[in-house]
Structure 1
Amino acid sequence: MANYPFDKERSLLKTDESTRITMLLLNVFLVVTAVSLAVSFYIIANLEIDEEPAVSDIIIVPEGAPERGIKAAGLLEEGYSRSGKIIVSPLLVEAELLHLQPYGELGMMDDSILADYQATSTWTNAVYSIALMEENGYDSAIVVSSDYHMNRVKYSFEKAAKGKELDFTYVSAGGPYGLPWIETQLGRRLAQYEIFKTVGYWLGLYNFIDIGEGGS
């Protein structure tokens, strides 16, 4: 049987165009999948930021879950707010209907709360809370939010405060039902949402659409 030398050029010509396109698309799909998984794991691994509370001018609560108000009330009672006040952003009159923690039930008086009624996202939580800080002459704040939400909270506050001489301490309130997010089905679902919301914030989409109504 005769042996024929391998002709690379002729072999490539035999590969039809549709096969080359299919292979290209498959390679692109594999790369995109690998990058998406890497980004997702990175975000999930860095969700929670929990710093040691430091006495500050005020406490800020980007609302959206009951554990946030509970934690903020505890810090207020322990004297971590020099002003004796907290900023609630947004303060929802219909909080009971939304299963959020009514602040009156936490023992807070109306004069303990600086209310923002405008925020509709984590980004606007930061913008309006910082505006209230500046309006009242506050330079430092403890920012309290749910564990799965803390990374995006810090990203928003640091970006909104860029160029301003403001100091923030980020304190986690834990996840749903007072448990770490990874221990509950609700917490794991909310953490998954954070992957998409965080990528949206990295892309600057918060400038055009609300990503995460109610600060959640």
Structure 2
Amino acid sequence: MNKIFNYKMIILCIFYLYLLFFIKNNFFSVDQKPVKSDVIIVLSGDLGRLEKAYDLYKSGYANYIILSNSTSKVFQDEQAALGIPDNGQFIDEPYATSTYTNAKYTLALMEKYHFRSAIVVSSNYHMDRVKLAYDRALGNKDVKLVYVASEGSSIDSFHFINRRMTLRIEEPIKYLGYLLGLYRWLDL
């Protein structure tokens, strides 16, 4: 009887964690108005991010786009599906394996190219963790970052919708891991 009660409490706690995360994501998530910047940083991992970054680029918000984890199949597929040309606006960052390394490596590229401001683009459900990772990686660097969320993609397919649902389920666990600082030892 006691074990059943413990399992029910664990399940209830997990349910409330997801419920709180859902409410926070839909009503209190980071999403700022874009401003003219030196560069747009787009993180790989989900469709719609590159599309949003390219729309910002075409609207004149920046002259360059840093593709973090540029070898990502998601980037390649989205660029091909949307017909986005590579006219020299892309700066590749091929080494990131997590949100924290996205932040660390793109900030290093900003320093290398003498960029002082950036628009950081990721999925709406991911932005809180992105901001947390960039805040921690930024240290005392004098860089202005604005966080703009992508709501999704104009590309419709069951595979992409299914992938997005999986990522949304994983995000609360990863966010908790970032709050606890586990990104230092794990690729979250």
TM tier relative to shorter chain: 0.7 to 0.9
**Other-structure match for 2:77:** 99
Q: What are the within-5 Å matches in structure 2 for residues 155-194 of structure 1?
A: 155-177=132-154, 185-194=162-171
**Other-structure match for 1:71:** 52
Is the aligned partner of 1:86 residue 2:65?
Answer: yes
Q: Does the aligned pair in 1 maintain the 2:99–2:130 contact within 8 Å?
A: yes
Going from structure 1 to structure 2, the CA distance change for 1:103 and 1:157 (only over 3 Å counts) comes to farther
Larger radius of gyration: 1
SS in 2 for 1:49: coil
Q: What are the within-5 Å matches in structure 2 for residues 1-216 of structure 1?
A: 23=2, 32-47=10-25, 48-81=29-62, 84-92=63-71, 95=73, 99-102=77-80, 105-109=83-87, 111-177=88-154, 185-211=162-188
Going from structure 1 to structure 2, the CA distance change for 1:177 and 1:200 (only over 3 Å counts) comes to farther
In structure 2, what residue type is equivalent to 1:87? I
Going from structure 1 to structure 2, the CA distance change for 1:159 and 1:102 (only over 3 Å counts) comes to farther
Q: Does the aligned pair in 1 maintain the 2:51–2:153 contact within 8 Å?
A: no
Deviation track 1:120-149 (CA, whole Å, cap 9, x = no partner) reads 111100000011111121121101111222
Equivalent-residue separation in structure 1 for 2:114 and 2:168 (angstroms)? 35
Q: Does the aligned pair in 1 maintain the 2:129–2:175 contact within 8 Å?
A: yes
Root-mean-square deviation (CA, aligned residues, Å) is: 2.7
Would you say how many aligned residue pairs link Structure 1 and Structure 2?
A: 181
- Identical positions, percent: 32
- Calculate the TM-score normalised by the size of structure 2: 0.82
Deviation track 1:135-165 (CA, whole Å, cap 9, x = no partner) reads 1211211011112221211111111113222
Equivalent-residue separation in structure 1 for 2:81 and 2:168 (angstroms)? 25
Gaps of 5+ in 2: none
Equivalent-residue separation in structure 2 for 1:125 and 1:192 (angstroms)? 21
Going from structure 1 to structure 2, the CA distance change for 1:207 and 1:199 (only over 3 Å counts) comes to same
Equivalent-residue separation in structure 2 for 1:53 and 1:156 (angstroms)? 19
SS in 1 for 2:67: strand
SS in 1 for 2:146: strand
Gaps of 5+ in 1: 1-21, 212-216
Going from structure 1 to structure 2, the CA distance change for 1:57 and 1:98 (only over 3 Å counts) comes to closer
Equivalent-residue separation in structure 2 for 1:107 and 1:142 (angstroms)? 20
In structure 1, what residue type is equivalent to 2:106? S
Equivalent-residue separation in structure 2 for 1:152 and 1:51 (angstroms)? 15
Q: Does the aligned pair in 2 maintain the 1:95–1:102 contact within 8 Å?
A: no
